[in-house]
Amino acid sequence: MSSPKNINQKFSELKFILKNKDKHSIKMDAHGGYSILFIYPPAEEKTYLKEIKKRYPDAYFIDLAAMFVKFIDSIGYDDFIETYAEYSSEPEKLFKSSLSESDFFTYILNEIEKAGKDEKIPILVRTGALYGTGIENINIMDSNIVHDLPMPLVIMYPATVGGDNKLKYLNFKPASDYRAVVVF
């Protein structure tokens, strides 16, 4: 990985990609994906989220933490706790079930799809809310909904680079080899 850029350099790079790269060139750079992974230090999340909202006020922001709370409310807190206990060793069965159209993963994809229909840049924020759900960022990036968007999905990604020179999601979880353009 190259050396980290400052916040203004990162946002300049994001702006360049969004303004100057077409779908084909982004997919080429992203190994077939149609997403931009915007890396920032987890401890600086508030600063980066404030800045992206300032620079892209017309974007479609998808706050995964807020959505997670709505998801739990839709089930009911007590029912959620009971169900989560049953699936704690396999959380993806609760949050990303092929048998349900009202799971958390579907909630997320529906919001991304709305952004595309509104022709707005979809930006996922507070992605740390995915930790423990069994939903990986790559699951979202590889969905047909993301591939069919009129503009790329931007994922605000709290991560650091470890001693092995690899990304660590939330400072500790090794990141997979994403199919995204990475702004680091």
pLDDT band per the 50, 70, 90 thresholds, residue 167: confident
Which CATH number applies to 7-183? 3.40.50
The one-letter amino acid at 50: K
Given this model, what pLDDT does residue 99 score? 65
Q: What gap in Å lies between CA 157 and CA 154, rounded to an integer?
A: 9
Q: Above 60 in pLDDT, residue 90? A: yes
Q: Do 184 and 34 touch, CB atoms closer than 8 A?
A: no
Residue 121 has pLDDT above 80, yes or no: yes
What stretch of H or E contains 113? helix 104-117
Q: Which of 112, 103, 115 is nearest to 74 (CA)?
A: 103
Across the chain, mean pLDDT equals 92
Q: Residue range 147-172: average pLDDT? A: 89
Token output for 136 = 């990986």
Distances (CA, A) of 63 to 9, 55, 66, 116, 176: 24, 17, 5, 16, 22
Residue extents of the structural domains in the chain: 7-183
The amino acid that residue 151 corresponds to is: M
pLDDT at position 33 is 94
List the structure tokens of 146: 């993301």
Here the tokens at position 165 are 């020179």
